[in-house]
Amino acid sequence: MKLTELTAYLSSRLELETYQSIDDSLNGLQVGRAGKDVRKVVCAVDASLATFQAAVDSGADAIFVHHGLFWGQALAITGAHYARIALLLSHDIALLAAHLPLDAHPVLGNNATIARLIGVADPKPFGVYHGLSIGFQGVLEVPLTTEEICVRLGLSEQTGLHVLPFGRQPIKTVGIVSGGAAREVQEAIGLGLDAYITGEASHTMYPMCQEAGITMICGGHYATEVFGVQQVAKELSEKFGLATTFLALPTAL
């Protein structure tokens, strides 16, 4: 598969243009040679030197990540930034990224996958960010305790789990926005949901959750954003026969 074909497919499948005006990351192809053949893709959460070296060691042609290298402003190619890009260029490895589009996608996305794993029936849009919803909310097919939700999602103290346990149990209704979206608990409170699932905890949201009587499950930024890249790896393998692997480099944050 040509890199241009892979880039075009991901751009269309993840609807990258929809989020262009609200996402300060550079979604799509970030580093790469247009005529390159792609046979093996490493999928990971973060663009880092460790990710890139693992891709080199595995003989990958391309890397797909959720958190890319570019975030809205020019960054001099020096220091760590230079080392990362130099490694990609010296081994002719392409880098593709999708940030908000991968959070929001209704099939492959972090939030849609979380909703499926915990059994949300008929998920509805949730988590409005600059006019677009990037999360999901709904009613659980079978009510679950906080502990049961965490087990289904693989969340624990080792992943960075923090729970603000102020809502009723078992949990019947939930809102979901992965990663760094603590403030979106206010939308969940406004909807009267039993619980809210995100990645990072927030000290300022503690009294708000306590007073509103809602449980906030903060599973870790990294741990709540492994799902999208895993789904992309699976689809690229099944649809195009590419060799794909998910590279786990957890941060416990």
Tens digits of residue pLDDT in 100-140:
999 999 999 999 999 999 999 999 999 999 999 999 999 99
Contact partners, residue 201, CB within 8 Å, separation at least 6: 162, 164, 182, 216, 218
Q: Are residues 95 and 110 in the same domain?
A: no
Which residue range is the domain that position 120 belongs to? 105-224
Q: Are residues 169 and 61 in the same domain?
A: no
**pLDDT computed for residue 143 by the predictor:** 98
Point out the domain boundary residue: 61, 83, 99: 99
In a domain, residue 14? The reply is yes
d(CA 236, CA 202): 36
Greatest Cα pair distance in the chain: 57
pTM of the model: 0.97
Structural domains in the chain (count): 2
Amino acid identity for residue 57 in this structure: D
Q: Are residues 90 and 113 in the same domain?
A: no
What confidence tens digit (pLDDT) does each residue in 59-93 have?
999 999 999 999 998 889 999 999 999 999 999 99
Q: 147, 105, 107, 108: which is closest to 18 by C-alpha?
A: 105
- Is the distance from CB of 161 to CB of 252 less than 8 angstroms? no
- Confidence tier at 171 by pLDDT (50, 70, 90): very high
d(CA 43, CA 222): 14
